[in-house]
Copies of this chain bind each other. A is one copy, B any other.
Amino acid sequence: MRCTRCGTKAVYHSLYSGHNFCVKCFLKNVDHRVKTAINKHKLFDTKDRILIAISGGKDSQVLATILSKIEKKFPNVTLMALLIDEGVPGYRDFGLKRSKELCKELGIPLTVTSFKELFGYSLPEITSIAEKKEVMLGACTFCGILRRRAMNIKAKELNATKVATGHNLDDEAQTVLMNLLRGDVLRLLRLGPKPVEELPGFVPRVKPLRYIPEKEITLYAYFKGYPLYEVECPYVRTSMRDEIRFILNEIEKKHPGTKYAIVRAADKLSTMNTSFKVHVDTCKYCGEPTSRSICRACELLEALGVMT
């Protein structure tokens, strides 16, 4: 098997494009596709202060690497990284060490924060209070809401103009499918490559790896010699995403290109989103932007009786 680009020994065959790649051409090709997505969807401005959501996992390692390469050509862009520790024992140890190492290597200043620091309680503390108070919500619901809130608080503190997350094609296709299966059309229409509208108080989130399959992110990290040790979150089995991941992988095997087709469909749907304007207010407790009088994060913390 020879590389379709340069003719040297190929190490990867892309089923959906039909191309073979050697290591060098593969890395170049992924870089190129990320750049293309950034340009096509105008994810960044030349003066952006970009906060990378980093975990030390493969996705955020690859994201930081590619963005730091691109940044070199844009002297007025600033890169920063943020790691959020949910306080699940052992879960972030490796990722934190690896994030510090990689950020140092790439010259990206890293900020570390935690649920405990921002909200007064770690995720396990919150879920155990929820159990006692019989608040019937899964750990992933708490974690998602608080993580997004933490990201926005710290992004504003750091004067970031964009938050970049490492969501890959698989993550995005799963999310689209989950929203359809739940009949959540509003969310389905908001799953474009970047926010359709600017909302006051929200630092816009963008996903530069949105069109790169998870498998290729893993390979990229592997070829770069990055550690691929991923600690699985102990709560992950409680989520519906796991089922959908399995189903989508099965379909993709038989019909290569399906994940990409789903995400492109979401892109198109998001351009029709003009009629769905969101009303943005300010949470009466924390002052963060919300579509209601009390934001979801404060509502949860209040229900648990742990408002700080």
| Chain A residues packing against B (C-beta within 8 Å) | 176-177, 180-185, 188, 240, 243, 247, 250-251, 254-255, 258, 260-262, 264-265, 268-269, 272, 275
Contact = CB atoms under 8 A, between A and B. Distances in A.
Nearest to A254: B243
Identical copies of this chain, number: 2
Contact of A265 (B185, B247, B251, B275): B185
B185 A180 contact: no
A261 B181 contact: yes
Contacts of A251: 181, 243, 247
A184 B269 CA distance: 11
24 contacts: A176-B180, A177-B180, A180-B262, A180-B265, A181-B258, A181-B261, A181-B262, A182-B258, A182-B261, A183-B260, A183-B261, A183-B262, A183-B264, A183-B265, A184-B265, A185-B265, A185-B268, A188-B265, A240-B255, A243-B251, A243-B254, A247-B250, A247-B251, A269-B269
A240 B243 CA distance: 20
A243 B184 CA distance: 24
A262 B180 CA distance: 6
A180 B264 CA distance: 10
Contacts of A268: 185
A185 B268 CA distance: 7
Given A180-B265, A182-B258, A272-B272, 19 more contacts: A176-B180, A177-B180, A181-B251, A181-B261, A181-B262, A183-B260, A183-B262, A183-B264, A183-B265, A184-B265, A185-B265, A185-B268, A185-B269, A188-B265, A188-B269, A240-B255, A243-B251, A269-B269, A272-B275
A234 to B, nearest CB: 21
Nearest to A275: B272
